[in-house]
């Protein structure tokens, strides 16, 4: 199951404590302070990875911790710094600090983004000696590392989004155009999570079937509407067996608008699917009706190679 929303706690490493120590050996009975400084705690970074399943690890690992710095030692021995931790999250993930409400997006595989800074190591007593205090009996404790409570939300980065009511032929079309093998069945909500496929270098996402009220959480809810936001073009599938294709079209458009009005500005292709189930006259009437709502309307059937071939160039216009 695709995990696309998680809440986690990130703790950077604590700084190591400074040491209180005095030089003592066979030659020196009462030497000066030689307590070393503690090491800095390790910081936590996020870095993108081209793997939409990468958030699944947080289903059972809710706390991410950086390495603590090592305490200082005698003979001015500095404690080792804690190792920085780099956490891989999918490209397209939005990270929100639940306290400050600041948000950033993971956009590539190269940029490391500092999430929580490690604590500074404390100074040992050797750092505090002076002309007036040659035997300081104290040292600094290490500073605690930053703690952040974060909400991670993945929004799939796809070129083409297949949208429509349940059982409108989206998954079948995806399987024909790409090498994806989504679950396909003749009942609503076969697709319970987005499926991805690659067609001529373009990423196609099959968005689970929407229903009336989805933008307000009904049915599968608005859980998957967010995955439409990143697409460059929407392919709206409408079952030609519908008794009211105009209503079906407007219903999905209304849900897009209610979720985010900007979605209506995206380029759109409308597909009247399962054309093989309609006689020529009925199919023509339904096509003409949809063309009044959208100029780019095509009738297709996965059993009609010519109709799929006719569609392909329009998909390839995405840039």
Is the pLDDT at 231 greater than 60, yes or no?
yes
What's the confidence (pLDDT) of residue 158?
81
52-99 pLDDT tens trace: 889 999 988 999 999 999 999 999 999 999 999 999 999 889 999 999
Is the pLDDT at 263 greater than 70, yes or no?
yes
- Mean of the per-residue pLDDT values of the chain: 87
Higher pLDDT, 264 or 319: 264
Is the pLDDT at 11 greater than 90, yes or no?
yes
Average pLDDT of the segment spanning 148-162: 90
Q: Domains of the chain by range and CATH?
A: 5-154 (2.70.210.12), 160-315 (3.40.50.300)
Confidence (pTM): 0.72
Is the pLDDT at 250 greater than 80, yes or no?
yes
CA angle 227, 63, 101 (to 5 degrees): 55
Average pLDDT of the segment spanning 161-175: 87
What's the confidence (pLDDT) of residue 214?
44
Is the pLDDT at 179 greater than 80, yes or no?
no
17-52 pLDDT tens trace: 999 999 887 677 677 899 999 999 999 999 999 888
Higher pLDDT, 284 or 209: 284
| Lowest-pLDDT range of 59-73, 97-111, 252-266 | 252-266
| Confidence band of 185 (pLDDT split at 50, 70, 90) | very low
Average pLDDT of the segment spanning 6-24: 95
What's the confidence (pLDDT) of residue 319?
56
| Confidence band of 197 (pLDDT split at 50, 70, 90) | confident
């Amino acid at each position: 199951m695709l995990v696309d929303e998680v809440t986690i706690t990130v703790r950077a490493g604590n700084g190591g404590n400074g040491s209180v120590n005095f030089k003592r050996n066979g030659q020196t009975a009462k030497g000066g302070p030689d307590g070393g400084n503690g090491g800095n705690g390790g910081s936590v970074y996020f870095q993108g990875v081209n793997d939409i399943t990468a958030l699944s690890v947080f289903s059972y690992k809710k706390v991410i911790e950086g390495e603590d710095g090592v305490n200082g030692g005698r003979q001015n021995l500095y404690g080792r710094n804690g190792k920085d931790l780099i956490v891989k999250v999918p490209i397209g993930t939005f990270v929100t600090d639940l306290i400050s409400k600041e948000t950033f997006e993971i956009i590539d595989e190269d940029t490391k983004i500092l999430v929580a800074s490690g604590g500074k190591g404390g100074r040992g007593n050797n750092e505090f000696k002076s002309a007036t205090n040659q035997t300081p009996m104290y040292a600094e404790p290490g500073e605690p590392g930053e703690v952040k409570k974060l909400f991670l939300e993945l929004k799939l980065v796809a070129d083409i989004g297949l949208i429509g009511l349940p059982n409108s032929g989206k998954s079948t079309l995806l399987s024909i155009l790409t090498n994806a093998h989504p679950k396909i069945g003749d009942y609503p909500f076969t697709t319970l999570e987005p499926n991805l496929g690659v067609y001529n270098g373009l990423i196609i996402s099959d968005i689970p079937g929407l229903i009336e009220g989805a933008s307000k959480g009904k049915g599968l809810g608005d859980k998957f509407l967010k995955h439409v936001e990143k697409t460059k073009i929407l392919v709206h599938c409408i079952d030609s067996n519908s008794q009211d294709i105009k209503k079906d079209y407007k219903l999905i458009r209304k849900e897009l608008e209610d979720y985010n009005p900007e979605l209506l500005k995206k380029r759109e292709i409308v597909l009247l699917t399962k054309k093989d189930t309609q006689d020529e006259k009925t199919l023509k009437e339904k096509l003409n009706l949809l063309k009044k709502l959208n100029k780019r309307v095509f009738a297709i059937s996965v059993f009609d190679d010519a109709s799929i071939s006719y569609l392909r160039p329009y998909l390839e216009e995405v840039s």
